[in-house]
Amino acid sequence: MKEKSTAKAFSILHGWTMQAKHEHWMRLALGLARRGEGLTRPNPPVGAVVVKNGKAIGAGFHRCAGEDHAEIIALKKAGGRAKDAQLYVTLEPCCTHGRTPPCVGAIIKSGIRTVITSVPDPNPRHRGRGLFTLKRAGIKVVEGVCREEGQKLIEPFKKWILSGKPYLTLKMAMSYDGKTADYRGCSRWITGKKARSFVHDMRRRVDAVLVGAGTVLADNPRLLPKPAGGRKTYRIILDAKGRVSPDVKVLCDSAAKQTIMATTPLCPAKRRNEWRRHGVQVWIIPSRQGDGKMSIPALMNKIGRMGLLHVLCEGGSETAASLIRAGVVDEFLFILAPLVIGGKNALPAVGGNGWKLSKSPRLSFIEQEIIGNDILIRAKPLKRRQKPARLQRYAQHCGQVVRSQNI
């Protein structure tokens, strides 16, 4: 009896240590994967580490579609030492020939003994088949290590591979009373330095930054991450009627090739030609019947067809209202600054005509964090008819936990 309970205690302890060890190496792989965010489109960011006798003998992350996958970079670094080692990889290894050969083949050939993954590949070509192939070849497979972080990392890729549409994050930096500019239109600066540097980091992690014509006319922004860290972030400007003149920064700076002017048939041909002369792409998106506004679903499809996985919308208030109304926002980032601007003529974060309270889009707060003197709140839209009582469960469904940091 005593022997049995000692054996049980040993096995529980062993399980815990193994789990802690797996989480340690997986966190390293996840950190590497994050370095690829904003670089890999239309592929997901992935990181991998080869471990033997408690030491990392190879590590890497996917840097660009068409180049080696994370596992291949890590295995190449490990070379012959990979035999009998463990491979930690943030995503289920691929099993078909795409732009590059299947990773499972290289893993089997290398003699790796155990493969530890965080999440399955949502790509229907690979899902489950990568791990199945490894198991069939006699490789031990451990799944679901740091699953929550792994899911969060591939959310944009998952949305795109399953729907053909980009993952849209709507960022709104505002005063505590929800204003994005004062009554004269001045918005520099509402949030502090740290929050602004967080936004630059965010821009590095996405494939495109999107704003409405009003924001370009009011602020003449560049909309690129600083520093760019090798990213070629697109800038998408929504200008249904062609109000943006060709002398703005997004059309004249050295990254003009990364600018897309999305307009409608209402934009005069002369204006479109002026834009084109700057080397930018001009998209003619159908306008909605009735109000002549740009069709947001058509715009999202077009962005998806370009292979852009993650789009960050940075305003302004009319664009935010159109995107929310079209139901295309996947994630909200509210940055609340500790100041009150007030005034009925000061711009609110979300314009348009608003909603009746009973029909207002409901959100679920997922995460909150203090950034300098400002508060960052991450939220997800709550599906219609979902009761607020289910907030927690919905947040978990989204692969997140409701948590607070530094508060």
Sequence-ordered list of residues with C-beta below 8 angstroms from that of 127, at least 6 positions apart, any chain:
92, 120, 121
Q: Identify what 374 binds: Zn ion, ligand AOF, none; CB under 5 to 8 Å per kind.
A: none
Which one of 39, 75, 87, 103 is in contact with Zn ion (CB under 5 A)? 103
Q: Identify what 158 binds: ligand AOF, Zn ion, none; CB under 5 to 8 Å per kind.
A: none
Which one of 74, 75, 94, 250 is in contact with Zn ion (CB under 5 A)? 94
Does position 44 interact with ligand AOF (CB under 6 A)? The reply is yes
Q: With CB under 5 A as the contact rule, which of the stretches 64-72, 219-227, 253-261, 284-292 interacts with Zn ion? A: 64-72
Residue with the CB atom nearest ligand AOF in the bound state? 98
The count of chain residues that interact with ligand AOF, using the rule CB under 6 A, is 18
Which one of 27, 41, 43, 314 is in contact with ligand AOF (CB under 6 A)? 43
Provide the token pair at 224.
Answer: 């690129």
In angstroms, give the least distance from the CB of 103 to Zn ion: 3
Provide the token pair at 223.
Answer: 């909309």
71 is catalytic: yes
Active-site choice (3, 23, 37, 71): 71
- Asked if residue 159 lies in contact with residue 167, where contact means CB atoms within 8 angstroms, the answer is yes
| Residues paired with 90 in a beta bridge | none
Does position 103 interact with ligand AOF (CB under 6 A)? The reply is yes
Does position 100 interact with ligand AOF (CB under 6 A)? The reply is yes
Burial 204-216 (b: 16+ CB within 10 A, else e): bbbbbbbbbbbbb
In angstroms, give the least distance from the CB of 314 to Zn ion: 33
Q: 102: helix, coil or strand?
A: coil
Q: With CB under 5 A as the contact rule, which of the stretches 32-40, 99-107, 219-227, 374-382 interacts with Zn ion? A: 99-107
- Asked if residue 199 lies in contact with residue 221, where contact means CB atoms within 8 angstroms, the answer is no
Give Cα separations from 99 to 43, 84, 184, 194 (angstroms): 10, 28, 52, 39
Q: Torsion-angle region of residue 146: left (phi > 0), alpha (psi -120 to 50) or beta?
A: left
Provide the token pair at 4.
Answer: 């049995």
Q: With CB under 6 A as the contact rule, which of the stretches 91-99, 190-198, 255-263, 377-385 interacts with ligand AOF? A: 91-99
Sequence-ordered list of residues with C-beta below 8 angstroms from that of 184, at least 6 positions apart, any chain:
none
Number of H helices, E strands in the chain: 12, 15
Does position 99 interact with ligand AOF (CB under 6 A)? The reply is yes
Q: What are the catalytic residues? A: 71
Interface positions with Zn ion (CB under 5 A): 69, 94, 103
Interface positions with ligand AOF (CB under 6 A): 43-44, 46, 62, 65, 69-71, 91, 93-94, 98-100, 103, 121, 123, 126
